Amino acid sequence: MKRLLLVIGLSLLLHAASAFPKGKISIEITPDRTEDWRYSAGDSVAYDIVVRVDGKPLKNASVKYTFAREKMPAHETHQATLPDGRLRVRTVGMPCPGFLTCRVFLLDEKGAAVANDLAQAAFEPEKLRPMTDMPEDFAAFWERAKAENAEIPMDPRVERAEQWCTDKVDVYYVRLQSFRKDNYVYGYVSVPKSKGPHPAVLYVPGAGVAKTKPSTYMAEKGVITMTLGIHGIPLDMPDENYDILKNGALYNYQFVNLDNRDQYYYKRVFMGCIRAIDYLFTRPEFDGERLMVSGGSQGGGLSIVTTALDPRVKYFVCFYPALCDHMGYLYDRAGGWPHMFDRTRTYFRTAERILNSRYYDAANFARLIRVPGFFSWGYNDLSCPITSMYSAYNVVDAPKELVLELRNGHRRSERQNRLADAWMLRRFFGEK
């Protein structure tokens, strides 16, 4: 009898374990103002939830859902069963500008989350402003840094990168000295073989430590293209070397030396971007006028910074910028990547670091921009919180265009890339 009960028990367990459907799970969450996901402060908001497996609504799906201000702890948590895989939930909206997150967790038979997703509704984002303030000596500090950088000989080393050349583009591997003696910045320069002179674009990189490759796409359209590595390491090492550096000497580089505003990691990075522009101006194929900076994430922040620092930049493209409004977390709202002052790093909140962060905040650089810019991001980006991005965008006092891909997180769609490329080519060559 005991053996029979054991067999029955095991059979039931196996049945339960196999009851949860297998397949591709998707959770779609849509604010009820479907066109723009925008609300006025004080409005309530509803989110429509659909759980699917292999494209079909999952009947009797069990979910947990939460509401929270962006990057803040949840202030509401609920559970529900979705008889036909669908559910509308409603909550009180935000009383002030910002973003309200609805996150949905699909639960298995044991109540464990097997998948989750989120959607963020916007409440008057055009009214968001940075929580950081601009130091009185901000401009003087960076003018001094640029003057010191200019005193360092460029000492360029340029080699033809034969393996990357095409019938339309010549590619060169470049090493430039910047910031201090024997400190180098590396990049690839792709030069059109077509008759010049040509405009130029500097592509600045996203966060991380990885091998950098040249870009020839815009060069084939008549634009000199420079792709930059910021870490002062060669770009053509074996892949394993980057993993070693990422987990070793360059681990958490974004926090290094913030105690000292003259030694913080990004000072050398910013000056490396300026030095790359210095080099582009030495290329005889460059027309000396039409210059753009472009990047996403960390590169988006660097595109803002480089544009503000160097008046030779005439246009910029910025996807989901990092480095914006570091101090947001000190005021109980989302700050930008690298989230240096969030609630998991209260130990990092020293007076020196907080004050020094203002000199390296892309939102303060954004206040200085006076040339046209193209911006693009999605509403569901938690790597570079949307609150921090709007805080920088809203203080840009120059012609600007913002393209939204509402569902996107920390990535860009083909549509975003296509529109950005078209914007770039119009600025360089006019309407065709």
**Known active-site residue 381:** yes
245 burial type by CB count under 10 A (0-12 exposed, 13-18 middle, 19+ buried): middle
**Are 145 and 117 members of one domain?**
no
**Are 121 and 67 members of one domain?**
yes
Domain harbouring 218, CATH code: 3.40.50.1820
In 3-state terms, what secondary structure has residue 319?
Answer: strand
Tell whether 14 is covered by a domain. Answer: no
Contact 106, 113 (CB under 8 A): yes
pLDDT for the residue numbered 432: 57
Closest to 58 (Cα-Cα) out of 34, 88, 23: 23
Q: Report the half-sphere exposure of 220 (CA within 13 A, side-chain side).
A: 10
**Known active-site residue 155:** no
**Are 168 and 121 members of one domain?**
no
pLDDT for the residue numbered 22: 83
Residue 141 CA to residue 137 CA, distance in Å, equals 6
Catalytic residue among 310, 342, 361, 381: 381
Q: Which residues of the chain have pLDDT under 50?
A: 1-18
**Known active-site residue 194:** no
Note if the bond before 192 is cis, omega within 30 degrees.
no
271 burial type by CB count under 10 A (0-12 exposed, 13-18 middle, 19+ buried): buried
* Structural domain that includes position 74: 21-125
pLDDT for the residue numbered 21: 78
Domain harbouring 54, CATH code: 2.60.40.1930
Tell whether 133 is covered by a domain. Answer: no
Catalytic residue among 294, 297, 376, 391: 297
**Are 220 and 250 members of one domain?**
yes
Tell whether 16 is covered by a domain. Answer: no
Contact 325, 411 (CB under 8 A): no
**Are 155 and 115 members of one domain?**
no
Residue type, 200: A
Please state the domain count of the chain.
Answer: 2
Residue 133 CA to residue 158 CA, distance in Å, equals 41
**R_g (Cα) of the chain, nearest Å:** 25
Tell whether 217 is covered by a domain. Answer: yes
Chain centre distance of CA 399: 21
Catalytic residue among 198, 231, 326, 410: 410
Residue 115 CA to residue 102 CA, distance in Å, equals 14
Tell whether 7 is covered by a domain. Answer: no
Is the pTM value of this prediction over 0.85?
A: yes
**Are 53 and 148 members of one domain?**
no
